[in-house]
Structure 1
Amino acid sequence: MTARPYVLLSAATSVDGYLDDTSNDRLLLSNAEDFDRVDEVRASCDAILIGATTMRRDNPRLLVNSERRRAVRVAEGKPAFPLKVTVTATGDLSADLKFWHHGDAKLVFTVDAAIDKVKAELGHLADIVSTGPELDWGQVLDELGHRGIGRLMVEGGGTVHTQLMSQNLADEVHLAIAPLLVGEAAAPRFLGSADYPGGPVARMRLLEARTIGDVILLRYAPKERS
């Protein structure tokens, strides 16, 4: 049986747990030093995943920005850029988004009801896989493992993070906390309401805590609850 990838969730939040505010402009939570750390983590991974909502909202390129890090990947026999992955249950993804036109290979996971829509819009830009009537994260990880993905970085959004955490599929969490308060109930949060393994008393193991300028990085092992 092919091993599933190691799943690393990465997010930057405000002190009150928000990923962004409700304005049309992206709220920059990290500082330059932390953005470089994220770039280093990206370079260490075989694939990077974001949800369709995050793609539509932020329109990211989702690249390894450092030329040196890309060169190291190539020297190790890897593609310059990790595989870029997204998931969509609705199929509402435009071919005009930056995600499709930068980097190397792309992969879309969707459901049976949306696969024809996704193929019509994106069939020339990405591989497309249905996980059946519903989005099945087990199948997503199995397919990525089958494709040789050993290390998967998940960069949001909150719905994706919540699903992976509630299904106990995340091996590691990187949480960068910025000295900001958002305070907007409609703004996206890192995690939503869910039935998390172990309930509210299960404590995750802390792997690391350090300051990066005015940001604090916390690394946790979600599966190592006590």
Structure 2
Amino acid sequence: MSTAFEPDFLQGSRPHTTVILAMSADGKIADRDRHAARFSSAADLHHLETLIAQTDGVLFGANTLRAYGTCLTVRQPELLDGRSQRHQPPQPIQIVCSGSGKLDPQGRFFRQAVPRWLITTVSGAKPWQGAVAFDQILVLPDDSPTDWPTLAQQLRTRGIAKLALLGGGTLVAAWLEAGLVDELYLTICPLLIGGATAPTPVDGTGSPISAALPLTLVGAKTLGSEVFLHYRYSRDPGD
């Protein structure tokens, strides 16, 4: 990671972005084989649904989609009613980030009644040309590092004011490095997974302690054996 985090980058011209993840007590979001992390409770799933119901879009990486096969939809009547009152469509836009564009068009995700966008490269977009699987495709250059701040601006221009980022750890790390994350909701689940290669909430190359991003605890609660934490990213040491 870079040595500088700027969570307030271009405020107003990018989505307010919230990372939402569940992890094991030893900090893993999946096992060493990257199987779907289906270890959280019904209470955590309700918590996640409540949070995504407040957003305009939900962003996740291709590996996350491959692991789960589907996206979480808003189903609770009170949450659907809230979206209606805020003049939002019933479902937030499900935004898949895949540089290769190699996704199974026969997968269950493509049969869900949700709006879908794809973020990919020029070569990754080719298999989807003329297809109706995605409502929009945002195309990035093949041969240069992803310009995440510009991409975030494009999402905001397309009406994404509130964005939920659901992983995986590599995508979260990229958005953190670019200074594009505002809040973190983290559920700690009562199990140990282990494994040096098992993914964590923030993967990537990491940063030295001197460059670590400080957090401010906004809320914490315990339900059963799970702990629900809500942090915001501090903008200065005294925040």
Residue 191 of structure 1 corresponds to 202
Residue 154 of structure 1 corresponds to 165
Flag structure 2 segments of 5+ consecutive residues without an equivalent: 1-9
Structure 2 counterparts to residues 106-125 of structure 1, below 5 A: 106-119=116-129, 123-125=131-133
Residue 174 of structure 2 corresponds to 163
Is the contact between residue 64 and residue 81 of structure 1 (CA under 8 Å) also seen in structure 2?
yes
In the alignment, residue 143 of structure 1 is paired with which amino acid?
Q
Residue 192 of structure 2 corresponds to 181
In the alignment, residue 112 of structure 1 is paired with which amino acid?
V
Q: Partners of 1:23 and 1:88 in 2: how far apart?
A: 19
Residue 129 of structure 1 corresponds to 138
In the alignment, residue 125 of structure 1 is paired with which amino acid?
A
Q: Deviations over 1:156-184 (max 9, x none)?
A: 11111111112221100111111111012
TM-score (normalised: structure 1)? 0.89
Q: Deviations over 1:100-152 (max 9, x none)?
A: 221332111111232213436xx311111112234332232111101111100
Matched, 1:41 2:27: no
Q: Deviations over 1:38-89 (max 9, x none)?
A: 1110111111111011111211232112133113312332100001101111
Cα 1:136–1:24 shift into 2, 3 Å: closer
Residue 88 of structure 1 corresponds to 98
Is the contact between residue 58 and residue 164 of structure 2 (CA under 8 Å) also seen in structure 1?
yes
Is the contact between residue 149 and residue 178 of structure 2 (CA under 8 Å) also seen in structure 1?
no
Is the contact between residue 202 and residue 225 of structure 1 (CA under 8 Å) also seen in structure 2?
no
Matched, 1:141 2:149: no
Is the contact between residue 61 and residue 98 of structure 1 (CA under 8 Å) also seen in structure 2?
no
Residue 53 of structure 1 corresponds to 63
Greater Cα shift, 106-115 or 66-75: 66-75
Greater Cα shift, 171-180 or 135-144: 135-144
**Higher RCO (C-alpha 8 Å, min separation 6):** 2
Is the contact between residue 19 and residue 165 of structure 2 (CA under 8 Å) also seen in structure 1?
yes
Q: How many residues align?
A: 224
Residue 3 of structure 2 corresponds to none
Q: Partners of 1:193 and 1:78 in 2: how far apart?
A: 34
Secondary structure of 2:191 counterpart: coil
Q: Partners of 2:174 and 2:124 in 1: how far apart?
A: 20
Residue identity (%): 25
Is the contact between residue 93 and residue 118 of structure 1 (CA under 8 Å) also seen in structure 2?
no
Cα 1:198–1:138 shift into 2, 3 Å: farther
Q: CA deviation at 1:33?
A: 1.4
Greater Cα shift, 184-193 or 41-50: 184-193
Q: Partners of 1:108 and 1:56 in 2: how far apart?
A: 14
